[in-house]
Every structure is written in structure tokens, then in C-alpha cells.
Amino acid sequence: MPHSDITPGPASRPAISSFMWLAAGTAAIGGFLYGYDTGIISGALLSISAEYNLTHGMQEVVAASILLGATIGGVGAGAFSDRFGRRRTVIAIAALFAVAAVAASLAPSALLLALARVALGIAVGACSQSIPAYVAELAPAARRGMLVLMFSVAIGLGIVTASLVGYGLHGVLSWRWMVAVAAAPAAVLFVAMFALPESPRWLIARGRPDEAARALARVRMPGADLRTELEAVAETVRRSRESRTRGWRGLAQPWVRPAVIAGCGTAAFTQLVGIEMMIYYTPTLLKGVGFAETSALQVNVGIAAIYLVMTALGLAIVDRVGRRRLALVTLPGAALSLAVLGTLFALGKTGPGDAPYVIACLFLFMVFQAGGLQVIGWLTGSEVYPLSVRAAGTSAQAGTVWGSNLLLTGTALSLIHHIGAGGAMWVYAGLNALAFLFIWRFLPELSGRSLEAVEDALRRGRFRPSDFARTPAASSPNGWPPSSRAARPRSASSR
């Protein structure tokens, strides 16, 4: 692995093969299911609450139950993925998505609905851990951001679809049909994954280099330098086997700790900034401050549409702009939008004449959040962890996401109930400001660097944002300058 005082140079941007696009797009169906199954509760909750006569506390239980399952699935998926492979894990997740969606749609009581949503959440959490890692291990380094973020765009598409279904079918079809329809794309994902390759990195780690070469050849352009890429992966695998840094215990090692802080901290803030509260509770929130039910559902559709558009825009620019820079540019706007919204709520400015300002604040918050921090959340988790602890790291990342989401969703309505909608928005505005400070302090710029190069930076203790600012990605296949490829990181085998 290279060791370098990196010299500037533009990152190469190799062409993406059609099969690589197909693999990333197919895996992204899991992102659609994530978005739909979590987002459908926003429109369906009004009908569910009426059918079961739910208190605001029980509404939180029904909404947040999927997040409890997601926390379990996110933490547990890594071990399953390491043992059985990335592809088989996604196949199992697709089957669980289908079964759990049908079970939720048939639930005869609110409690059984919540339990079914826990099972559905296990699939959501496992999907959020496994699919970005699977795509990241297939993708070429310089185009990894775009390909992994197809998952995030699919989440946005799922949320938009859920909001349109919730609005268009509200009062027309039962909420049960809204929930059950998710079984169809789950079945498509289940079948399609059988045609995709296993992760070359996982195959090499299992001592199957010939299969790894064939798998990599399927997702690269003809004439690509497969040998160099496979050698880099094999070297990383060799070092991970010799290393004492493995699994969950490995995450506590001093040289891995910066990755854990950057990855899990970013993951926590993607939820704590309040975006999921907007996705789940916007109709309930707006109805509570005086909006008509139909108007609240229409605003919800607009929020979902903005989420999709901005996530797609983020996908298009993240490899050029950079992960860190994108978050730092957008977070101040998100914080300001919520601060103004909180002021409108606190002053009671929610009447018909004030509605455009309320809606504008909601939409602007979504523009800045969905186009910034949300873009990099899952991407960061797929990039920062060394191979020997990658399954544990991505599991910790997913568990942090869903645990934070559970905390937020399980307390949002109670927070609004106790301190008012205005006070709640100010709390979330403050959390957006804290997210800015965290990204500025702890998250380096990873654009254009291979997974092996990121691991090398960790091993050499050069994972601070300032280190990466002085060492832009070069045109080497591993993200470091060709001139220093012969050197090795110090003490690599002993760590």
C-alpha cells in the first residue's frame, strides 16, 4: 500500500460499465423500500390514528417501531454479511421486506402493527448497512460517490412515492393497501440479486481470488487494469488477516477511532438535525398548528419531492464538490430555515396569510438538508472503515443512524407537546449548527480516494481534515500519487 506526502493532482474519472450501473441500480431498490416503508407512515398515520383512536404517545410508538427494528437490523447485518457474503445478505433482506410488509398490512391492532413494523425495520436497517457497502466494494474509487448515492436517491424516490400514495389514496383506499404494495418491489429485488456478482473484496477475503477477478471484470470497462486493483485489495486483505484489529473490538483501536468518530458522528447528525421528523410528522405537525388536512398532505408531497430532487443533485455533484464541502456549505442554511420556522410558530404566525412563509421555511430546510448532509451520511459509512473492521463499522454506523432516528422520532411529538412547535424547531436548528461544527472538526474529504487509500491514511495517523486538505487525491488507482507506490505504511502488520 502506498505511503506518501501526497502531491496534488486531479482524481481520475473512469467510465462506468453498463453492468456496474445495473448492479448499483438494482441494489438501490433496497433504498426505495427503505424510503417507502419509512415514509408511508406520514400519510397513513392520520388514517391509522382514526381507526385505532391513537393518543399522540401511541402515534409515536407506531411511527417509531420501524426504527427500533432498523437499529437491530443495522447492528446485526454486518456479521451476517461477513459470514454469508454481501449479495446473499441483500437477498435475505429482500425476502424479509416482502414478508414484513404483508404482515403489517394485515395487522388487526395497533400493537400488532407496531410489532410487524419492527420486523420491517430489521429489513430497513440491514439494507442501510449492507447495500452501500456492497456497492462501494464494487465501484471504481473515483466514481464511488455517485454509485453509492444511487441508494440515497432511491430513498428519496421511495419517500416521494409514499407521500403521493398517502395524499392520492387518503380516503380512497385503506392504509393497509398503502403498506402492502411495498411487497412488489421487494420481490423484484429478491429475484434480480441472483444475477449480480458477489463483492470482489469479500471473495478475496474468503480465499477465492479467481472468482473475485471474474466478479470485478463484470463491473469494469473492457481493458481496465484489474490486476492493479485486485493486488491492492489482496494486500489490504493480507494486512487485515495479520492485524490484531478485527471485528467489533477493532473499532476501539486508537488508529481506527478517528474513522469511528467521523462515521458514527456524521450518521448521528443526519438524524438529529430533524429531517426524519419532517418526513414522518409534517402532516401531523401542520394540522396541529391549524393547517387543513388536505393542505398538510400537499405540503408533505412537496417536501418529499424536494428530498428526491436535491438528493439526485447531490449525487451528480458530490464527487466533484466533495463530501465535506457539500455538508459545510448547506448546513448553515438548514439551521437558519429552522430558526425562522420556529420563530413563526412561536409568534403564532400560522394563519392563511402566513402559510407561504411556513411552507417556504419547510421547503428551504429540505433543500439544504437533503442536498447536503443527507447526501453524505450513508456514503461516509461505506468509505471510512478499514477492511478488517468494515462489517462491524458499517453495522455501528447503521445502528447509530437508526438509534438516533428512534430517539428523534420517539420524542418529536412529545417535545412539541411540552415546549411547543416553535421551541422544538429551535432545538433542531441548534443541532444543525452542532452538525456543522462536527463536520468541520472531524470529517476529512474522502472524494476520489480508494478504500485502500483511506485505510492507509488511518494507519499512518493522517486522518484529520487538515491532513487531507494538504493531500488531494491523485490519479493513481489507489487515490495516492504513483511516485510513492513502493513505500509502505509504518507498522502496518503490527496494528
Q: Which domains does the chain have, with CATH numbers?
A: 18-196+243-484 (1.20.1250.20)
User: Average pLDDT, stretch 240-260?
Assistant: 81
Residue found by looking up cell 407561504 in the block: 356
pLDDT at 89: 94
Give the per-residue pLDDT at 338.
95
Lowest-confidence segment of 422-426, 433-437, 450-454, 475-479 by average pLDDT: 475-479
Least confident of 1-10, 40-49, 297-306: 1-10
pLDDT in the model for residue 106:
93
Q: At residue 10, does pLDDT exceed 50?
A: no
Residue 231 has pLDDT above 60, yes or no: yes
Sign of the Cα pseudo-torsion (438, 442, 443, 445, in order): positive
**Per-residue buried b or exposed e for 216-241, using 16+ beta carbons within 10 Å of the residue's own CB:** bbbbbeeebeeeebbebbbbbbebbe
Quick one: average pLDDT of 468-479? Answer: 52
Q: What confidence category does residue 330 fall into, taking pLDDT thresholds of 50, 70 and 90? A: very high
Q: What pLDDT sits at residue 421?
A: 85
Neighbours of 10 (CB within 10 A): 11
Q: Quote the distance between the C-alpha of residue 299 and its chain's center.
A: 24
Mean pLDDT in residue range 439-466: 85
Highest mean pLDDT among 46-50, 99-103, 298-302, 457-461: 99-103
What average pLDDT does this structure show over 254-279? 89
From 102-116, 117-131, 183-197, 470-484, the region with the lowest mean pLDDT: 470-484
Identify which has the larger pLDDT, 287 or 430.
Answer: 430
Q: What is the b/e burial string over 440-450, where b = at least 16 CB atoms within 10 angstroms of the residue's CB?
A: eebbbbbbbbb
Note the pLDDT of residue 432.
96
Q: pLDDT at position 495, please?
A: 41
Question: Which of 35-49, 51-65, 285-299, 478-492 has the lowest average pLDDT?
Answer: 478-492
Under the banding of pLDDT at 50, 70 and 90, the label for residue 115 is very high
Residues 282-288: contacts with CB under 8 Å, at least 24 apart: 282/42, 282/362, 283/42, 283/43, 283/45, 283/46, 283/166, 284/45, 284/46, 284/59, 284/413, 285/416, 285/421, 286/358, 287/46, 288/416, 288/421
Instruction: Report whether pLDDT(209) > 80.
Output: yes
End-to-end CA distance of the chain: 14
Pairwise CA distance, residues 84 & 244, whole Å: 22
- What pLDDT score does 412 carry? 83
pLDDT at 478: 45
pTM summary value? 0.70
Q: How confident is the model at residue 365 (pLDDT cuts 50, 70, 90)?
A: very high
- Number of helices and strands (H, E) in the chain? 22, 0
Residue 143, pLDDT above cutoff 50? yes
The residue-averaged pLDDT of 113-119 equals 93
Residue 119 pLDDT class (50, 70, 90 cuts): very high
Determine the average pLDDT of the residues in 186-205. 94
- Res 175 pLDDT > 60: yes
Q: What is the pLDDT of residues 79-96, one digit of tens each?
A: 888 889 999 999 999 999
% the chain with pLDDT above 90: 32
